[in-house]
Structure 1
Amino acid sequence: MELPNRASLQDVARIAGVSLATVDRVLHGRPGVRARTVERVNAAIEQLRYRPDPAAARLARNRTARLVFVLPSGTNSFITLLSQQLQALAPWLGEQRAAATVHTVDVFSPTAVAQKLAELQGQCDAVVLMAQDHPQVRAAIDDLVDHDTVVVTLVSDVPSSRRSHFVGIDNVAAGRTAATLLGRFIGNRAGRVGIVMGSRALRDHAERLFGFEQVMATEHPHLQLLPPIEGHDLSDRTEPLVAELLAREPGLLGLYSIGAGNRGIGRALEASGRQREVTWVCHELTPHARRALLDGTADAVINQDAGHEVRSACRPALAEVHGERVIADQERIRIDVFLKDNLP
């Protein structure tokens, strides 16, 4: 079946009996067009079922859309994966007449994040942000939107802000998945389970903890959850905290790592000699997590695909910048579960 030709601006102008410039003014709501002329143009648009051609519109603008990714500073391996995937996406971005750069900031400091976002006002078309849900951050996002900057949140959401889209997994479901895995690996043995997280201030970490606690309380009541350790996603900070936990809890059965810092956790488990005794479930399939799975230190990794997340951040950001549609199903991020037997 042959598809009908797409109506063009020239077709609209011909049917309405006006110039291309007049059609453009009507489409963009610019002043200087008589009411009767606006009616004729809108009637022609409806008659022809005209839809703007996004590719042609980008070419007509003759400018490059500027995207800025604001990511956590430090040595977080998952953030490194995100940056690498963004670099790999550069040729595609070029085809879309867009370019992206990465700025890093201490995401555990809402003041630092807010200051960084303020510096970006008027400097870019869209910001893709990974930060904590805090009043200062929410206000800074809203200020960016007031300055005609599109904001997309990544991995950890700030839902009460005026951001356009959130790109990431269902973190409550991820925490529930971790609890099911950990509980089934441990079985009927009664004992204690440790929890390591970056910070409760990070919404994704708080949501994972909520989901984890839900399932553990209802389905594995024989396992007692210890108060979470907050390591700010830093291996050097997490390692001594986990080492202290292992020394304090000689019968520890399980460990759930909600965020980053897995290198430190792995080192602490290996130094204790209990890496085969303590069931460990963690997040993100980084090179370090992969090695921990292969050598038996980690038992399962819950993953969100870094490449998919970067692409699914850029596409909605550019769609908002250009006034195009977003296909929600295309941007849904899956929760992947990896054992040593199904590593990609």
Structure 2
Amino acid sequence: MRPTTKDLAKAAGVSLATVDRVLNGRSGVRKETVQAVNAAIERIGYERNISAANLARGRRYRLEFLLPRTGDQFLHALVERIEEAGSAFAPDHTEVRHRRVLSDDPHQIAALLAGIGPEDVDGIAIMAPGTPQVRDATLRLMERGVKVVQFVSGQPGARQFDFVGVDNKAAGATAGRLMGKFCAGGPGRILVIADTMNARDNVERRQGFDAVLTRDYPGLEALPSLETHGDPDRTHRIVGNFFANYRDIVGVYVLSSETRIALQAIAGTGQLARQQAIAHERTAFNEQMLRDGMLDAIIAQNPGHLVRSAIRVLRSRCDGREPLASQEEIRIEILIRENLGHRAV
């Protein structure tokens, strides 16, 4: 039989009411009493039934995803999965909402976070650049009692924050390995395109990509990162210039999560079908490019898993529990035309 709260009260030498106050983090309990109850929990192996406790208290989880204002198909896929999760988690007393309010300005993001407190929300998943301003504002938000998850864009293993997403260095290294194999080791140059190199995930993908190419495929040279800033006219112009200036381009790597503008620009030059091409994220556009033979591989992370994992991590933190690491690990998926199958969620 699992130990009950009565067993816990007896083991700690306190009343049931005191046990309830300690378990729910209420004030009015001496430090020594809290220590006695926690010691008894360890001693008798007491495990709290979180669901029953939340039901008894009428506890609800108020969770919010803070997303960029601008984005394309990958961001839209995330929004769809968030709305889907909102319905799925509602019976578990979990309110899930989202706002597309973040600009590229770290000061704007910091100001927004400064206006959020535990009276507004219990936990936030934030998809933002990992700048010092955003990091400091996030730490202050956590100090005010709001749980935080870095969502998609972040740093695995950072001590202060939970992170939900793939290991982006490993994802970039995977792209480097595939590109090296596809191009048979060279010789030639690789065109590398990103929406911005101010985003940590893009920087880490580039680092992983370069590490593999430099070490294992010295015949291939990755060109400096071309930044599109999400501007179609700029992208078409600079892509055309790169192909005009470098006649020995043999591969294209689009390392950002939003790929449509870059791939359309390359296709407009007539060069895409002649190149080995790798991109990130499973979107409707990328799927079609893969089926049409314009892309050779997609390196993806499942948006449904991303959203559900962020919710589970935030709920665990709200309950004072450690998340189950094995359940929340986001896998790097490699898609080619032959294994594309049906769209994953």
Q: Same fold (TM over 0.5)?
A: yes
> Is residue 283 of structure 1 aligned with residue 280 of structure 2?
yes
Give the equivalent residue in structure 2 for 1:91. 87
Which range is displaced more, 267-276 or 330-339? 267-276
1:71 deviates by 1.2
Residue 264 (structure 2) aligned to one of 264, 267, 287:
267
Distance (Å, rounded) in 2 between the aligned partners of 1:258 and 1:202: 11
Q: Is the 8 A contact 1:302 1:338 kept in 2?
A: yes
Deviations 1:24-74 (A, max 9, x none): 234437434595x76875676456422211111221331321111111222
Q: Is the 8 A contact 1:193 1:253 kept in 2?
A: yes
Distance (Å, rounded) in 2 between the aligned partners of 1:218 and 1:18: 64
Q: State the TM-score, normalized to the length of structure 2.
A: 0.89
Which range is displaced more, 14-23 or 147-156? 14-23
Give the equivalent residue in structure 2 for 1:221. 218
Q: Is the 8 A contact 1:197 1:233 kept in 2?
A: no
Q: Is the 8 A contact 2:65 2:98 kept in 1?
A: yes
Alignment of 1:173-184 (within 5 A): 173-184=170-181
Q: Is the 8 A contact 2:129 2:153 kept in 1?
A: yes
Alignment of 1:182-261 (within 5 A): 182-233=179-230, 237-261=234-258
Deviations 1:189-210 (A, max 9, x none): 4221111113222111111100
Deviations 1:94-119 (A, max 9, x none): 13211111112345211121122122
Q: Which amino acid aligns with 2:256?
A: G
Q: Is the 8 A contact 2:149 2:162 kept in 1?
A: yes
Deviations 1:172-202 (A, max 9, x none): 1111110111121112442211111132221
Distance (Å, rounded) in 2 between the aligned partners of 1:145 and 1:34: 23
Give the equivalent residue in structure 2 for 1:66. 62
Q: Is the 8 A contact 1:283 1:302 kept in 2?
A: yes
Q: Is the 8 A contact 1:233 1:259 kept in 2?
A: no
Q: State the TM-score, normalized to the length of structure 1.
A: 0.90
1:164 deviates by 3.4
Q: Is the 8 A contact 1:235 1:260 kept in 2?
A: no
Distance (Å, rounded) in 2 between the aligned partners of 1:42 and 1:181: 52
- C-alpha change, 1:115 and 1:297, in structure 2 (3 Å) is same
Which range is displaced more, 321-330 or 285-294? 321-330
Matched residue SS, 2:181: helix
Q: In the comparison of the two structures, how many residue pairs are matched?
A: 339
1:242 deviates by 2.2
Distance (Å, rounded) in 2 between the aligned partners of 1:239 and 1:61: 58
- C-alpha change, 1:188 and 1:144, in structure 2 (3 Å) is closer
Which range is displaced more, 120-129 or 141-150? 120-129
1:131 deviates by 1.1
Distance (Å, rounded) in 2 between the aligned partners of 1:293 and 1:200: 25
Q: Is the 8 A contact 2:228 2:262 kept in 1?
A: no
Distance (Å, rounded) in 2 between the aligned partners of 1:220 and 1:162: 34
Alignment of 1:288-307 (within 5 A): 288-307=285-304
Identity of aligned residues (%): 36
Gaps of 5+ in 2: none
Alignment of 1:86-165 (within 5 A): 86-122=82-118, 123-157=120-154, 163-165=160-162
Deviations 1:131-163 (A, max 9, x none): 111111011101101110011001121579774
Q: Is the 8 A contact 2:281 2:301 kept in 1?
A: yes
Cα root mean square deviation, aligned? 2.5
Q: Is the 8 A contact 1:191 1:224 kept in 2?
A: yes
Distance (Å, rounded) in 1 between the aligned partners of 2:19 and 2:304: 40
Q: Is the 8 A contact 1:152 1:165 kept in 2?
A: yes
Q: Which amino acid aligns with 2:52?
A: A
